[in-house]
Structure 1
């Protein structure tokens, strides 16, 4: 573990290799799981704001879930998470003609229709942020559905923190990310990674 400001970073973030491989997984991380994606309290209003714009991209089942319980709910741990369809799909999933799963919010963002990319927990995956009040911890979440991403990351020699430069900068700022890169360089020089 290393600490940058009030954020403790697991060494796995530096040592594990990762590049999303949508051709292999087809977006399975948005489908599988026992709860929706973690949502920060300040993101709820953004999800509700983009909802009318992405509504037509959502499945009828997702629309029905949203009409019944909203875009989010509290899971068994009391955490705010996106609502899910049939116990698995995030309500914001949509599919292309090849059957690939995409985030409807990210799709709208890339098309210039909204200014919200998607929940930061989704953007940061496979990093999970744990908030302990006085500090946050960044941990690498290893999930079997991402096996192809580990293989591609190994092949291309891209560490998790490098693959996630954009969302890490979005969440913690450019100065913090530059410090993370400096720490990675120091760890390399010391033979720790």
Structure 2
């Protein structure tokens, strides 16, 4: 079911499915799996470039070489701007803490070293945002087998996707929009009757 929440199309899976990242179990595999980098906007590229000196030392030598050659982002085969990757899969901003993959951008932000957090597409995951030519925005729940532990943990906690992502959804769409989403979620069962 597709819901129209203040002119943003929202897949009902965002309300009905449960999810909670489990870094202890997955080790941040989403930063190093896939065939393209994280979707980014031109504005985010500017923020990433501003933070680059701060995170440079946390990036691998291979990642630094990729950024030196092609920059922090590129256009993928679908025509989308995405973060640059190493070896056809690893985001250049992947850094390691023990056996966990982390985002160097987010780590620098949490340490108060930069104002840029990380691409909103990363913060919103497992929600994927799609913008259509007419300006319509749609939000879909993306199922990915590397997140099976997050689904399991979300079910254990009975934590819906939209509640797990309250911060990123509010950051992207605002408090009023998030409140409208919560209102729809509270009455979702009635909508389905």
Same fold (TM over 0.5): yes
1:139-192: CA deviation from partner (whole Å, max 9, x where unpaired): 00000000000000000000000000000000000000000000001114x174
Give yes or no for contact 1:6–1:134 (8 Å, CA) kept in 2. Answer: no
2:77 counterpart SS class = coil
Report matched runs for 1:31-180 at 5 Å. 31-96=32-97, 98-132=98-132, 133-180=134-181
Q: Is 1:181 aligned to residue 167 of structure 2?
A: no
Cα displacement (A) at 1:134: 3.1
1: CA distance, partners of 2:62 / 2:101: 15
Give yes or no for contact 1:93–1:102 (8 Å, CA) kept in 2. Answer: yes
- Residue of structure 2 in register with 1:13 after alignment: 14
Cα displacement (A) at 1:128: 0.2
Runs of 4+ deviating beyond 2 Å: none
2: CA distance, partners of 1:134 / 1:106: 29
Query: What's the RMSD between the two structures over aligned residues?
Result: 1.1
2: CA distance, partners of 1:11 / 1:176: 16
1:82-141: CA deviation from partner (whole Å, max 9, x where unpaired): 000011110000001x21000000000000001111000000000000001331100000
1:137 counterpart SS class = strand
What stretches of structure 2 of length at least 5 have no aligned partner?
A: none
Cα displacement (A) at 1:42: 1.4
2: CA distance, partners of 1:177 / 1:114: 26
2: CA distance, partners of 1:140 / 1:9: 9
1:35-81: CA deviation from partner (whole Å, max 9, x where unpaired): 00000121110010000000000000000000011000000111100
What stretches of structure 1 of length at least 5 have no aligned partner?
A: none
Number of equivalent positions = 191
2: CA distance, partners of 1:131 / 1:5: 15
